[in-house]
Amino acid sequence: MTGKPLTTQNQFLVRAATARIFVQRVGAVWFVVVLLYLVSGLFSPGMFQVSQVLNILQVAAFLGVVATGQTLALLVGGIDLSVAGVVTMANIVSTGLMAGRDGSMFIAVGTCILVAAVVGLTNGLMITIVRVAPLIATLGMNSILFGAALVYTNGAPHGGIAPGFAVFGQGHLMAFPISAVCWLVVALTIAWVTRRTVFGRQLYAVGASATAARMMGIPARRIVIMAYILSSVMAVLGGLLITSYIGSPSLGIGDQFLLSSIAATIVGGTALTGGIGSIVGTIGGTIFVTELNSFTNIVRVSTGTQFVLQGVVIALSVLLYRFVGVSRTSITPQ
C-alpha cells in the first residue's frame, strides 16, 4: 500500500528535476519573455503584429549592446556604473565632430571608441592597482564624464549626425532593423569569445575566485582590465547606435541605461557575485526589459513607476534563479 505513493513521489521528483535542467539550459528568462509578450498582447493586440516585434528589437538593440558590456564587468565580480556617462559622451562627441558631415563620420566614431577604451582602462587600473571598489571607481568616472560633457557643450549641445550614419539606427535590411543586426552580431561575437576562447574561460575563473585564478597562473588583473575596457567599448557602441537613431545631441541621454543595463544582465541570469552568467541570457534579459517598458507604456504607467518595476524585477530575478537552483557548478558560459 505504501509502494504506489512512493512511486508517484519519485516520478514527480524526476519530472521536477528534468524541468529544472531544461530551464537551466534554455534560460528562465526566455520563458518570462514569452509570458510577458503574451500578456502585453492581451492588453494591446497590436503587439502580435510583426511590425511591433521588429520595433521592440530595434529599441532593444541600444540597451542590448550596453548590457553586453555590463555582463563582462559583472562576470569578473565587478560592476560598471560609468556606462551612462560613456553613452552620453558618445552622443555629445560624435554629433559635435560629425556636425552633419559624412566626411567626419569615421573620425567621430574612432574618437569615441578611443575615449571609451581610455575610460575602461582607467576604470580597470583604479580597481586592480589602486584597489578602489568597482562601485566607487565607476560611479566616480560616470560623474567625471557627465561633468566633461557639460564643460564641452557649455550646457547647450550642438551638432548632428552625418546623413550616412543614420542608417545604423534608423535603417532596415529586408524589413529587419539594422540596429538589431549590429546588436546581435556584437553580442553573439562576445558570446563566442566568452565560451570558446582562453580569455573567456579566464574571465569566468577570475569572477569565481580571483585568488584561485592567480594561483593557477591566470593574469587576473589583466583580465579585469580587459573586461572593463570591453564594457566601455560596448557602452560607446550602444551610445553611437542610439545617437544614430535620434540624430541629435542630448545631455543625459545615457541615464536611462544605468539601471536598465544592470536589470537586463541580472534578469538574464548573471550573478552580482561574478563567475556566473552568459551573453545569450543577457540578450533575453534585454528583450524582457524592453518589453516591460513597452507594456508599461501601453498601460500608461509613469516613468517613476517604471524605475520601481525595474528594481522589483532585479530582486525577483535573483530569487527566481536561486529557486531554480542555478549554482556555480550548474551554469556554463553560453
What the block records as the C-alpha cell of 19 is 524541468
Q: Is the pLDDT of residue 5 over 80?
A: no
pLDDT > 70: what percent of the chain?
Answer: 86
Domain ranges of the chain: 27-323
Q: What is the pLDDT of residue 134?
A: 95
CA distance 50 to 174: 13
Q: What is the pLDDT of residue 318?
A: 66
CATH classification code of 27-323: 1.10.3470
CA distance 94 to 247: 10
Q: Is the pLDDT of residue 326 over 50?
A: no
Q: How many other C-beta atoms lie within 10 A of the C-beta of residue 324? A: 16
Rounded to the nearest 10 degrees, how much is the dihedral formed by the CA atoms of 235, 238, 240, 244? Answer: -160
Q: How many other C-beta atoms lie within 10 A of the C-beta of residue 50? A: 8
Give 223 or 104, the one with higher predicted confidence. Answer: 223
Q: Is the pLDDT of residue 157 over 90?
A: no
Q: Give every CB contact of residue 132 below 8 A, 6+ residues apart in sequence.
A: 126
Q: Is the pLDDT of residue 17 over 60?
A: no
Q: Is the pLDDT of residue 332 over 60?
A: no
What the block records as the C-alpha cell of 130 is 589602486
pLDDT > 90: what percent of the chain?
Answer: 54
What the block records as the C-alpha cell of 302 is 509613469
Q: What Å distances lie between residue 18 and 23, 28, 65, 169, CA to CA?
A: 9, 14, 33, 42
CA distance 125 to 224: 9
Helix (H), strand (E) at residue 255 = none
Give 110 or 100, the one with higher predicted confidence. Answer: 110
Q: How many other C-beta atoms lie within 10 A of the C-beta of residue 261? A: 35
The one-letter amino acid at 26: V
| Structure confidence by residue, pLDDT tens digits, 251-267 | 889 998 988 999 899 88
Q: What Å distances lie between residue 204 and 35, 176, 191, 217, 275, CA to CA?
A: 30, 34, 12, 14, 5
Mean pLDDT for 120-133 is 96
Q: Is the pLDDT of residue 42 over 50?
A: yes
Contact by Cβ (8 Å): 187, 69: no
Q: What is the pLDDT of residue 127?
A: 96
Q: What is the pLDDT of residue 154?
A: 85
CA distance 196 to 243: 32
Mean pLDDT for 47-60 is 89
Q: Is the pLDDT of residue 210 over 50?
A: yes
Q: What is the pLDDT of residue 159?
A: 86
CA distance 257 to 44: 26
Q: What is the pLDDT of residue 11?
A: 60
Lowest mean pLDDT among 110-114, 238-242, 310-314: 310-314
Q: Tell me which residue of 129, 94, 56 sits closest to 241, measured CA to CA.
A: 94
Q: In sequence order, what are the beta bridge partners of 177?
A: 172
Mean pLDDT for 25-39 is 78
Give 40 or 139, the one with higher predicted confidence. Answer: 139
Q: What is the pLDDT of residue 283?
A: 94
Split at pLDDT 50, 70, 90, the class of 187 is very high
CA distance 240 to 116: 12
Q: Is the pLDDT of residue 234 over 80?
A: yes
Mean pLDDT, all residues of the chain: 86
What the block records as the C-alpha cell of 204 is 569566468
Report residue 250 CA to chain centroid gap. 21
